[in-house]
């Protein structure tokens, strides 16, 4: 389905990024995986196989994403799909479980830099190439947390995901249309990429298998979704519409 297409994936050494890379590679795509962890990245490239390369990249450093984009074009000649997956709740990643009111503001800044700016940076550095090609697809990875809030431990994460769901997705879809670039967002509820996710309630009564999320990503990246742009797809097992639900402590 994706023969001769190049996919640019941040956070590609684990979780949704890695699984997406494996699935795109299995469908014939050239895959560019980026991650800050070189050892995990090397293992991910081997796991994906096919035409896959890995580029150690810190997505909070714009110049590193520029260099990764240049390497992708040098290697494969195009960038057709951008999937920014790097991210996570700032409290968990920083192992800081203090209340938001007491937390070092640098941790909030880290959360915004990683989850919002890093994703938009990835889109921006690739848009010039997509404009030259007059084609492209950008798929942001949102979250149910961007809709319902994230509690004290994930204020920056929630702010960032809300920004991707509405501001980045809609604005870049409006901008990208003249270049035949589609932009959408996939916002999962609990996904079994971490054991703790199984404890989050959904109307269906379970967390998602990661493949269920990636199947939606693959569809939106394909020509079957050629008439879809500027939309957020909430894939949350009905969590957002559950009545009388108590919010878990984050």
The residues assigned a catalytic role are 157
Can you name the residues that pair with 184 across neighbouring β-strands? 139
Element holding 56 (H helix, E strand):
strand 52-56
The CA–CA distances, whole Å, from 235 to 124, 184, 215 equal 26, 13, 11
Three-class DSSP category at 234: strand
> Could you say which DSSP state residue 22 is in?
H
Of 107, 83, 92, the C-alpha closest to 17 is 83
Residues in contact with 115: Cβ distance below 8 Å, sequence separation at least 6, in sequence order = 87, 88, 90, 156, 157, 160, 161, 164
- Record the tokens describing residue 38, joined without a space: 């070189």
Q: Are 35 and 56 in contact (CB under 8 A)?
A: yes
In terms of phi and psi (left: phi > 0; alpha: psi -120 to 50; beta: otherwise), the region of 82 is: beta
The span from the CA of 123 to the CA of 87, in Å, is 15
Residue showing tokens 């890695």:
18
């Amino acid at each position: 389905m994706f023969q001769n297409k190049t996919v640019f994936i941040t956070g590609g050494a684990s979780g949704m990024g890695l699984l997406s890379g494996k699935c795109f590679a299995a469908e014939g795509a050239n895959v560019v995986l980026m991650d800050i962890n070189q050892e995990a990245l090397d293992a991910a490239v081997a796991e994906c196989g096919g035409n896959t390369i890995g580029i150690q990249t810190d997505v909070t450093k714009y110049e590193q994403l520029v260099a990764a984009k240049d390497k992708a074009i040098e290697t494969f000649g195009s960038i057709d799909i951008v999937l920014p997956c790097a991210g996570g709740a700032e409290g968990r990643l920083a192992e800081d479980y203090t209340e938001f009111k007491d937390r070092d503001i640098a941790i909030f800044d880290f959360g915004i830099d990683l989850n919002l700016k890093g994703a938009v940076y990835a889109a921006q550095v690739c848009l010039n190439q997509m404009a030259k090609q007059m084609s492209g697809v950008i798929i942001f990875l949102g979250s149910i947390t961007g809709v319902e809030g994230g509690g004290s431990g994930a204020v920056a994460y929630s702010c960032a995901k809300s920004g991707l769901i509405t501001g980045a997705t809609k604005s870049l879809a409006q901008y990208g249309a003249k270049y035949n670039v589609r932009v959408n967002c996939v916002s999962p509820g609990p996904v079994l990429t971490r054991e703790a996710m199984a404890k989050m309630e959904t109307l269906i009564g379970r967390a998602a298998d990661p493949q269920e999320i990636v199947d939606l990503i693959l569809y939106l990246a394909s020509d079957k979704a050629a008439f879809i742009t500027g939309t957020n797809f909430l894939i949350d097992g009905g969590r957002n519409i559950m009545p009388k639900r108590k919010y878990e402590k984050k």
